[in-house]
Amino acid sequence: MAGSSLASRICWSKLIVASTLLCLLFGAQGSSATALTTYLQGNEKSCFYADVDGIGEKVGFYFSVQSGGSFDIDYTVQSPSEKVILEGTGERQGDYIFTANTVGEYSFCFENESSMTAKLIDFDIMVESEPRRSLPVQQGSIAEHTSSLEESIYKLNGMLSNLVRTQKYFHTRHHRNHSTVLSTESRIFWYSILESLAIAGIAFAQVWVLKSYFGRTGR
């Protein structure tokens, strides 16, 4: 009976430690993310903002142009002191992570320099504090169990991150291919209209020329 009671206590201790570990990793990590979509008209600029509450926090920034023109966009990332952290011209997509050295509001701006084409952009802004939480020191097999469980969860977190990136890649490819198909269909349609008008015009011109020629000959 004593051995059974001791085993039961150890089992419950492992469950409590595992639950605490999950809460620390996923509930108390203090991360925030924003997944958005914006539509920019020609010569339009749009900015979005994210607050950073502490120095050393990791800021993730991802974007991809889904449709419009050559699928390119200009972007700028600035710190609260208006210092340029990231910038690019004519970029199709980007995935960046940087460390915030200043507390405050960071700006993420997109600019569509094309005057003829509107562009659809998907982007994510994530602010996350990444240091690992230290758990209370346990004894014996419980400490070893929690340590291995912690490593397994971090590996799982990494695999999920890779899966999300792969989904974003295929999502972008789908939108770009769909946009290309729509553009090609539109071009074929208008080309067919112009071709039909040209054929009708040539036929009318031929009839007019023949009518004028035989009219003169008859005189």
Q: Distance of CA 86 to CAs 107, 141, 150, 194, Å?
A: 11, 47, 34, 46
Q: Distance of CA 84 to CAs 60, 87, 147, Å?
A: 15, 7, 41
Residue 41, in any domain of the structure: yes
Residue 169, in any domain of the structure: no
Residue 90, in any domain of the structure: yes
Give me the CATH number covering residue 67.
2.60.120.680
pLDDT tens across the length of the chain (219 residues): 444 444 444 444 444 444 444 444 444 344 455 568 888 998 899 999 999 988 888 898 999 888 888 888 999 999 999 999 999 999 988 889 899 999 999 999 999 988 788 898 989 888 876 444 444 545 555 555 567 777 777 678 767 877 777 777 777 777 777 777 877 888 898 899 999 999 999 989 888 888 887 777 656
Residue 197, in any domain of the structure: no
> What is the value of pTM for the model shown?
0.58
Residue 86, in any domain of the structure: yes
Question: What whole-number distance in Å separates Cα of residue 176 and Cα of residue 169?
Answer: 11
Residue 50, in any domain of the structure: yes
Work out how many domains the chain is built from and give that number.
1
Please give the residue range of the domain that contains residue 6: 2-156
Residue 149, in any domain of the structure: yes
Residue 211, in any domain of the structure: no
